[in-house]
Chains A and B, each alone.
Chain A
Amino acid sequence: MNMKKTTTLGLGLALALSTAACGGGNGGDGGSEATSATGPIKIWLSNNPEELAWGNKMVEAWNKANPDQKVTAQEIPAGKSSEEVIGAAITAGNAPCLVFNTAPAAVPQFEKQGGLVPLDSFADGKEYIESRTGDAATQYQSPDGKYYQLPWKANPVMIFYNKDLLKKAGVDPENPPLSTYDEFLDTSDKIVSSGAAQAAIWPAPSSEFYQSWFDFYPLYAAETGGTQLVEDDKATFNSTEGKAVADFWATMYEKGYAQKEAYKADSFADGKAAMAIVGPWAIAVYGDSVNWGVAPVPTSTGIAPEDTYTFSDAKNVAMYSACKAQGTAWEVLKFATSEEQDGALLEETGQMPMREDVASAYPDYFKANPEYQTFADQAARTVEVPNVTNSIEIWQDFRDDYSKAVIFGETDVDSALADAADKVDGLAGQ
C-alpha cells in the first residue's frame, strides 16, 4: 500500500513536471508555475442556505488572515443545472478556481474536457487527501490514479421510518422488522394494507439518471458488501445480487408498496410514506416534525448493521484548470477542509465531512446530537458512483432499463439487467 502510494505520487509529480516543461498541454495552464501562483481567486458555493452560511463565514475567515489573496464566493444552484453551468464555464475558460459542489458522477466528464486540475500536482496533494479521508478516498481516484476531486462531505443514506405510522400499522415502532427483504415486504404490506400511509416507501420513480442512487444502488451496495456498479470497466450488476435487489424493488412496485408516480413534495414529511431513504441531513429536516427512527438499508439475508454498506451521496471539491492562482486555491481548499472548518460545516449543515472517524474528531457535536452516531458509523461503509468515463450515460441507460422492468413491470427484470449490462460494458470500456 505504502509502496503503491509513493510510486503513484512520484508518477504524479513526474507528470506534473513534464507538463510544465512542455509549457502546458493537458489542462491548459496546468503545471508547476500555475500550481504555485498566488493571488485573488473565485469560488462557487452551493446555494442552499446552510452551506451558504458556512461558506461565507469560511471565506470571511480566510480573507481576514490573507488580505493579499482575496477569495470571492458566488452561488450556483444546488440542483440539476449546476453541472450545465460548470460544463459551460469549463469550455469558455471562465470556471472559478474551486467549486464546493462538484458531483463525483460529473468528474469523469469534466476531466475529459480538460477542465480539472489533478490535485496530485501539489506536492502534498495526494497525501493530504488520503490522510484526511482515509481508505475511502481511493474510490475518488480516477482511472489514471490521480485525484481530480477532494472527497469533501458524504450523506450516507439509510432508511428513516416514521414511528407513529408504523404504530398505526401494527408494527413495533421501536424495532421494526426491516432487515431482510421478507421482513421489509411484510412491514410494507402492513403499512399499506392498514391504510397507515399511501406508500411504505416512496423513492422518486422518475427517469433522471441519478435517481437510481436512491433506490437500487444503496441496496445493491449492501447486498454485495460494497461493490460499485461498474468495476474494471465491466458492469457488476447482472448478477445474483443485482437481480435480488431489482426483484425486491419490482415486488415493492408491483404490490403498490412503492408508488409509480413521483410525489411532488416530500412524501415522508407529509406522512404519505412511512419510510424514506435519506442521509444525515434528514435529522435536521425532520427532527421535530416527524417521530422518526433509523435503520440500515435491507439485504436479502439481513446482514448485520455493522457490516451493511450503502451509497455515500458525496459532494466534493474540485479545482478547475482555468484557475490562475492555483497555489492560493490549494491553500484555500486545505483551509476549507481543515478540522476546524469541517467541524463548522457539520455544525451548520449536519452533513458529514469525509474524514476518517468523524465521531472522535467532534465529540462535542456527537454528544449533543447522539442520532448522528448511526450515520457516522454508516459513513465508514459507503460506496461511491464508479469513477469511469461516460459515467452519466451509464447511469441513464441503467435507469431507463430499470424503470421499464422494475418500476413499470413492462419487461422482465433479468433481461433488463442483462441488456443494461451490455450497454454499460460498451460504454465503460471506451
Chain B
Amino acid sequence: MAQVTADERSVLEEPAPPATAPPQKVSGRSWPRTVLLAIGALLFLFPFYYMLMASLQLKPDTSVRGAFPTSGFTLDNYRSINGRVNLVQSLVNSGIFTGAVILCTVVLGLLAGYALARLHFRGRGTLFAAMLLVQVIPFQLLMIPLYVMIVRSYGLADSYLGMIAPFAINATAVFIFRQFFMQLPDDLFSAARIDGAGELRILWSIALPLVRPAVLTAVLLTFIGPWNEFLWPFLITKDADLQPLAVSLANYISSVAGRAANPYGAILAGACVLAAPAVALFVVFQKHFTASDIGSGVKG
C-alpha cells in the first residue's frame, strides 16, 4: 500500500471512478440506476432502521405504525449495557483479538494466496484442497476437539493466544487472495520475471497494488469473523477481563433479555453497540474498496 501516492489519492477520491463506466453514460442516464440502488438500499436499511428504533423504545410495538415512533424514546437500553459491561476493556480485548487475526491473515495469508495462484510448487493442489476443506468443515464438528487440543495440548486457556489461534489465518481470505491474483493477466508476471524481479518484489510492487480492493474486502471479512464471534472466545476465556465485546454483550443479552420491559430493545441495543465500530471503520475505509488503477500498479 506504500504505492499510493498523494497524486493517486486525489484521482481516487473523484466522484467518478476511473474504471468501467464509459464516460458518456455518467450524467443524466444514471437515474434508473439510482432508483434501482435506492430501492435496494431501502430494503437493506429498513431492518437496521427498525433495529435502531426498537433499541430506543421502552416497549416493543409490532404494528406498522410502531415502526415509525414519534414518542417514548429512551436511552435506558444503552444505559443498562454500560452499567453491566466494561465497555472499554471489552473493546480493547476485541481490538487485540481482531487486530492480531487481521495481521496474521494479511501477512501470511497473502503470501499463501499468492503462492497458490501464481507459483508452481509441489503440494499446491493438496494445500488448495486443504484450504477449501477447512472452510467447509462446520465449526460445530471441530469445536470440542479443537477446544481440548488448545486447552490441553497447548495450554492456552484464558489467554489471547488461545482465542486467536483457530482464527489466525482466515481461509476464506486466502481463497479471495488466490482468486484475485489469478484474475491478473499472465503477461504482467512473465514480463516482471524476465526483468529479473524476485517473487517477493513482484508480489509487493506489482500484484498487490492491483488487488488492493480485494485485499481490503478480505480484511473486512477477516474483521467480521472475530469481531462477531461469540462461542469460541467464550469457551476459551471465563475471565471477564479477557472477554471481547461480542462475548460481554452476548452475556448481557442472555441475562437481561426476557425480563427487560423491552427485551428486544435490550438485544438490539447490544447489537447496535457491537455494530457501531464496524460501521464507522467501513465508512472511513469504504472509498478504498474500488480504489485501484491498473496503470499505476504497473508503473510501481
Contacts and interface: CB of A to CB of B under 8 A. Distances in A.
Interface of A: 44, 47-49, 52, 74-79, 81, 84-85, 87-88, 91-94, 96, 264-266, 270, 285
Contacts of B84: 49
B60 A270 contact: yes
B240 A48 contact: no
6 contacts: A47-B255, A74-B240, A77-B234, A88-B144, A88-B147, A91-B144
Contact of A49 (B60, B147, B151, B255): B255
Interface residues of B, number: 25
A74 B239 contact: yes
A81 B234 CA distance: 10
Given A75-B240, A85-B234, A266 B263 contact: yes
Contacts of B259: 48, 285
A154 B235 CA distance: 28
B203 to A, nearest CB: 40
A92 B147 contact: yes
B269 to A, nearest CB: 15
The B contact surface, by secondary structure, is: helix
Contacts of A74: 238-240
A92 B151 contact: yes
Interface of B: 60, 84, 143-144, 147-148, 151-152, 157, 231, 234-235, 238-240, 250-251, 254-256, 258-259, 262-264
Contacts of B263: 265-266
Contacts of B148: 88, 91-92
Contact of B254 (A44, A77, A265): A77
Nearest to B80: A49
A81 B263 CA distance: 19
A85 B144 contact: no
Contacts of A92: 147-148, 151-152, 157
A87 B238 contact: no
A93 B144 CA distance: 12
Given A44-B238, A85-B234, A93 B254 contact: no
Nearest to B61: A270
Given A75-B240, A76-B238, 19 more contacts: A49-B256, A74-B238, A77-B254, A78-B254, A79-B254, A81-B231, A84-B231, A84-B235, A88-B143, A88-B235, A92-B157, A93-B151, A96-B238, A264-B264, A265-B60, A265-B264, A266-B258, A266-B263, A270-B60
B254 A87 contact: no
A279 to B, nearest CB: 13
Contact of B151 (A44, A77, A94, A265): A94
Q: Which of A49, A76, A265 is packed against the most chain B CB atoms within 10 Å?
A: A265
B51 to A, nearest CB: 13
A49 B259 CA distance: 10
Contacts of A96: 238
Q: Which of B157, B250, B255 is packed against the most chain A CB atoms within 10 Å?
A: B255
A81 B231 CA distance: 8
B22 to A, nearest CB: 49
